[in-house]
């Protein structure tokens, strides 16, 4: 392993499309969504521990989740948990860890990734990740990993790439498209030169900071003004003053869609962002009728292609449902058509408007 290689696991989101099991005080990255015995962030940490030294793995998370991270990842050092005072999307998150690493190691190469991705072939993932790390060592490039689409998913971003390789299995990116409608997604898949955007980025830290300076100068300048405080006792105080000034923007929109030196590596592993209940259904074992069940006492009668997530102690009998999401918690019952899963965020907003934050 290379001592200059680092990983930043981004773990500050609230996973509202996985409501009602994903709550503000315990979002999906800290849950065992698929019933594997490990939470998503635990699986993610173990995956990256095969890629870089464990002391080079950082977790960037919301202040209220620091204690959860410490509990679920007991091996991580306190100094490697970076606390964000507010949620401002991925660009400020990545700027924070990039400035921190630049102060610590000017030769740093960083991979930034979500805490809640599902990867089914970790050894293949390591091969792809090492390819990305090696590529950015030798060229000023911002690299993302793309996944070959298996169907026209409207919840993912898409990457169009050149058909000619810039290096073995590495392609120059032509366009990014965020969450297209169904007809456009079908067109992308038919073209053969589009990939799903996995949101896993790799770059030399000094090069991504140059990209921030050019494409997101406001965020760059806010962090640069406090850079001497990183890796000092004044760091948290500096971050507390920085974040309120930052724009809420993703690194995809702020940098990757604008920069001329963006490349993509097609993944050789199976991947899901586990962003919705349907993606969980796709990755869970299912019965003869296509039902995916998490719960010890669930009975189905004439039910097909449903996902059911209920407490182990509760008896649930499902009759006659086809393509439904059924999720039961201590205080919320959700019954929703699978085709409407992208609207769950809207339903959560409606709950907040009508009932406040008690059920969020």
pLDDT tens for residues 265-275? 999 888 888 87
* Residue 317 included in any domain: yes
Q: Which of 253, 274, 295 is the last residue of a domain?
A: 274
State the average pLDDT over residues 14-25.
87
Max avg pLDDT among 121-130, 175-184, 211-220, 290-299: 211-220
DSSP 49: T
State the average pLDDT over residues 115-133.
92
Question: Do 291 and 269 reside in the same domain of the chain?
Answer: no
The pLDDT value recorded for residue 355 is 95
Higher pLDDT, 167 or 152: 167
Question: Do 286 and 252 reside in the same domain of the chain?
Answer: no
Domain that holds residue 319: 278-355
Question: Do 208 and 160 reside in the same domain of the chain?
Answer: yes
CATH number, domain of 250, equals: 3.90.550.10
The pLDDT value recorded for residue 34 is 81
The pLDDT value recorded for residue 143 is 97
Instruction: Please give the Cα distance from 231 to 238 (Å, whole number).
Output: 11
* Residue 360 included in any domain: no
Burial of 286 (C-beta count, 10 Å sphere; 0-12/13-18/19+): middle
State the average pLDDT over residues 144-148.
93
Q: Residue 152: pLDDT band by 50, 70, 90 thresholds?
A: confident
The pLDDT value recorded for residue 177 is 85
Question: Do 175 and 35 reside in the same domain of the chain?
Answer: yes
Question: Do 309 and 204 reside in the same domain of the chain?
Answer: no
The pLDDT value recorded for residue 351 is 95
Q: Residue 13: pLDDT band by 50, 70, 90 thresholds?
A: confident
Question: Do 308 and 252 reside in the same domain of the chain?
Answer: no
Instruction: Please give the Cα distance from 117 to 102 (Å, whole number).
Output: 26
pLDDT digits (tens, 9 = 90+) for 50-88: 999 999 999 999 999 999 999 999 999 999 999 999 999
pLDDT at 35 over 80: no
Average pLDDT for the chain? 93
Question: Do 175 and 287 reside in the same domain of the chain?
Answer: no
Question: Do 254 and 311 reside in the same domain of the chain?
Answer: no
Question: Do 334 and 291 reside in the same domain of the chain?
Answer: yes
In angstroms, the Cα distances linking 196 to 165, 167, 253 are 18, 20, 15
Q: Residue 178: pLDDT band by 50, 70, 90 thresholds?
A: confident
Higher pLDDT, 40 or 180: 40
Q: Which of 274, 292, 317 is the last residue of a domain?
A: 274
Closest by Cα among 204, 220, 203 to 212: 220
The pLDDT value recorded for residue 29 is 94
pLDDT at 320 over 90: yes
Q: What is the count of structural domains for the chain?
A: 2
Six-digit token string for 229: 């405080």
Q: Is 277:19 a contact under the CB 8 Å cutoff?
A: no
Question: Do 189 and 155 reside in the same domain of the chain?
Answer: yes
State the average pLDDT over residues 207-231.
96
State the average pLDDT over residues 271-286.
87
pTM over 0.85: yes
Q: Residue 99: pLDDT band by 50, 70, 90 thresholds?
A: very high
State the average pLDDT over residues 89-112.
96
Question: Do 88 and 235 reside in the same domain of the chain?
Answer: yes
The pLDDT value recorded for residue 74 is 94
| H-helix or E-strand spanning residue 211 | helix 205-215
Residues 6 or more apart in contact with residue 79 via CB below 8 angstroms: none
State the average pLDDT over residues 181-189.
88
State the average pLDDT over residues 344-360.
93
Six-digit token string for 130: 């090492």
**Lowest-pLDDT choice from 4-13, 90-99, 154-163, 287-296:** 154-163
Question: Do 66 and 211 reside in the same domain of the chain?
Answer: yes
State the average pLDDT over residues 19-42.
90
User: How is the chain split among helix, strand and coil, in percent rounded to 5?
Assistant: 40, 25, 35
State the average pLDDT over residues 187-198.
88
Spell out the alpha helix ranges (H) of 29-109: 40-48, 66-72, 90-104
pLDDT at 276 over 90: no
Q: Which of 258, 274, 290 is the last residue of a domain?
A: 274
Q: Residue 17: pLDDT band by 50, 70, 90 thresholds?
A: confident
pLDDT at 111 over 90: yes
The pLDDT value recorded for residue 210 is 97
* Residue 100 included in any domain: yes
């Amino acid at each position: 392993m290379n001592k200059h290689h680092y990983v930043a696991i981004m773990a500050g989101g609230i996973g509202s499309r996985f409501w009602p099991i994903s709550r503000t005080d315990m979002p999906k990255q800290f849950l065992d969504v698929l019933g594997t015995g490990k939470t998503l962030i635990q699986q993610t940490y173990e995956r990256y521990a095969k890629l870089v030294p464990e002391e080079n793995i950082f977790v960037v998370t919301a202040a209220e989740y620091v204690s959860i991270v410490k509990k679920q990842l007991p091996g991580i050092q306190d100094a490697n948990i970076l606390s964000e005072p507010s949620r401002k999307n991925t660009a400020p998150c990545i700027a924070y860890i990039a400035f921190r690493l630049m102060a610590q190691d000017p030769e740093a190469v960083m991979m930034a990734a979500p805490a809640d991705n599902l990867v089914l072939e970790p050894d293949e993932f390591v091969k792809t990740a090492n390819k990305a790390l090696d590529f950015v060592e030798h060229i000023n490039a911002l690299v993302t990993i793309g996944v070959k689409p298996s169907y026209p998913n409207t919840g993912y971003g898409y990457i169009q790439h050149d058909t000619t390789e810039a290096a073995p299995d590495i392609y120059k990116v032509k366009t990014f498209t965020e969450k297209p409608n169904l007809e456009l997604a079908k067109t992308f898949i038919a073209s053969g030169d589009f990939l799903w955007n996995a949101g896993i980025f790799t770059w030399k830290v000094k090069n991504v900071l140059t990209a921030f300076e050019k494409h997101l100068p406001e965020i760059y300048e806010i962090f640069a003004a406090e850079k001497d405080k990183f890796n000092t006792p004044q760091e948290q105080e500096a971050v507390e003053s920085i974040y309120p000034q930052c724009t809420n923007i993703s690194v995809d929109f702020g940098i990757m869609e604008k920069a001329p030196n963006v490349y993509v590596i097609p993944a050789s592993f199976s991947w899901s962002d586990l962003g919705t209940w349907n993606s969980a259904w796709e990755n869970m074992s299912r019965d003869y009728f296509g039902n995916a069940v998490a719960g010890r006492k669930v009975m189905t009668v004439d039910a097909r292609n449903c996902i059911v997530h209920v407490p182990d102690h509760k008896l649930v009998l499902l009759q006659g449902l086809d393509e439904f999401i059924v999720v039961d918690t201590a205080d919320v019952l959700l019954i929703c058509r699978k085709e409407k899963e992208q609207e769950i965020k809207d339903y959560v907003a409606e709950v907040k408007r009508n009932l406040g934050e008690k059920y969020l």
